[in-house]
């Protein structure tokens, strides 16, 4: 029987955080489209090495290859009990411009910087720095 995860995005961030603290090179995460899109943004900004979809029994998993030297602060912003939405003009820099925030917009998952350039708002999923 599969576990029920009430907040899959927080689960993704926690699994990455725990794998980094345990000095693991690879971690496996249950597959979902939003997680794959978030990992694509994280890869584009060099927070992780790479990721791929692998089959585990009858379910798909995301296998994430972590960077050895990177230690990340991953913080969930919008939660199931309190969703946080921002308009494009309200978007601010994360950690003085050293980090990025991942936002879910009508045109897909992207960084807040990209959303601001395209004048899009949406739900702020997490901050990474």
Percent of the chain past pLDDT 70, that is, above it, reads: 98
Tell me the torsion sign for CA atoms 85, 91, 92, 97. positive
Confidence of residue 2 (pLDDT cuts 50, 70, 90): low
Strand, helix or coil for residue 116: helix
Are the beta carbons of 77 and 70 closer than 8 angstroms?
A: no
Q: Give the mean pLDDT of the chain.
A: 93
Examine the pLDDT at 70 and tell me if it is beyond 80: no
What residues contact 31, with CB distance under 8 A and at least 6 apart?
Answer: 53, 59, 60, 61, 62
Predicted model pTM: 0.91
Residue 88 predicted with pLDDT over 70: yes
51-62: pLDDT as tens digits: 999 999 999 999
Please give the domain boundaries of the chain with CATH numbers for all domains.
Answer: 8-65 (3.30.1370.30), 74-128 (3.30.1490.10)
The region of weakest confidence among 70-74, 88-92, 107-111 is 70-74
pLDDT in tens, 33-52: 999 999 999 999 999 999 99
């Amino acid at each position: 029987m599969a576990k029920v995860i009430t907040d899959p995005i927080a689960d993704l961030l926690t699994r990455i955080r725990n794998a980094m603290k345990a000095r693991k090179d690879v971690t496996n995460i249950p597959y979902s489209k939003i997680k794959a899109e978030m990992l694509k943004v994280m890869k584009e900004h060099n927070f992780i090495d790479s990721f791929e979809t692998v089959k585990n029994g009858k379910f798909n998993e995301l296998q994430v290859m972590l960077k050895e030297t990177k230690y990340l602060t991953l913080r969930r912003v919008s939660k199931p009990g309190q969703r946080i939405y921002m308009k494009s003009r309200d978007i601010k820099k994360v950690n003085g411009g050293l980090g990025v925030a991942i936002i879910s917009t009508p045109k897909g998952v992207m960084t807040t910087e990209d959303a601001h350039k395209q004048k899009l708002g949406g739900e702020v999923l997490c901050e990474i720095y």
